[in-house]
Amino acid sequence: MGNIKRVTITKAALLVCDIQQKFGPSIFSFDAIVEVTKRLIQVANILEMKIVATEQYPKGLGHTVEELKSQMANIPIFEKKVFSMCIPEVENALPSDNEAIILCGIEAHACILQTALDFLSKGKDVYVIVDAVSSRSNIDRKYAYKKMENAGAVLTTCEAMIFELTRSADHPNFREIQKLIMSISPDSGLSHI
């Protein structure tokens, strides 16, 4: 059995990739992706984790959806034209001791895949939150997940990641986070792929 990867709060960063309004009508389960990402951001804020976001060509595609922007007051958002989030601005915003990338956003087969591959090639552990990642089609989403997993990324869910980060009901922030866990997760369409 290979090395078991475990993410820790102090060495991880949440990357929120291109969840912009103009993508909404064409992305499968967009509203669910936004809702799960909002939950991730809330938990990361409670745990005081580093969060970085990007917007793909906002001049043409608009900015991050308002539902998320309200949670992102002190979070840097960088513009990009390349598909990967692994750009100098994002890398410079990460703590120097960063070891793990927790990744959510769109699209699975484009920006998420390229980001995962780039950070994996730099030796980072990459965790893809599958219920917070989507594409325009489930076939692209499905095979992007396969490629990322084959490349070494860990596929997991929002709730599983929350439990991994907190590790115990004795965590000092668990009671606050538990309220978020207890709310029903939206259907992100994963059961169909």
Instruction: Indicate the average pLDDT of the chain.
Output: 92
Per-residue pLDDT at 192 exceeds 70: no
How far apart CA 90 and CA 54 sit, in angstroms, is 8
Residue 143 counted as domain residue: yes
Residue 121 counted as domain residue: yes
**Domain region containing 177:** 9-183
- pLDDT (tens digit, 9 = 90+) per residue, 56-78? 999 999 999 999 988 888 899 99
Residue 14 counted as domain residue: yes
Could you say which of 38, 50, 80, 124 is catalytic?
Answer: 80
How far apart CA 3 and CA 161 sit, in angstroms, is 18
Mean pLDDT computed over 138-153: 96
Containing H/E element for 118? helix 113-121
5 catalytic, yes or no? no
- pLDDT (tens digit, 9 = 90+) per residue, 87-135? 999 999 999 999 999 999 999 999 999 999 999 999 999 999 999 999 9
Its pTM surpasses 0.85: yes
Residues of the chain above pLDDT 90, percent: 79
Of 24, 53, 31, 59, the C-alpha closest to 187 is: 31
Residue 108 counted as domain residue: yes
| Residue 179 binned pLDDT confidence (cut-offs 50, 70, 90) | confident
How many domains is the chain built from?
1
Q: In a 3-state reduction of DSSP, which class is residue 75?
A: coil
Residue 2 counted as domain residue: no
Residue 193 counted as domain residue: no
Could you say which of 17, 18, 118, 131 is catalytic?
Answer: 18
147 catalytic, yes or no? no
80 catalytic, yes or no? yes
List strand residue ranges (DSSP E) for 35-106, in order: 50-56, 77-80, 100-106
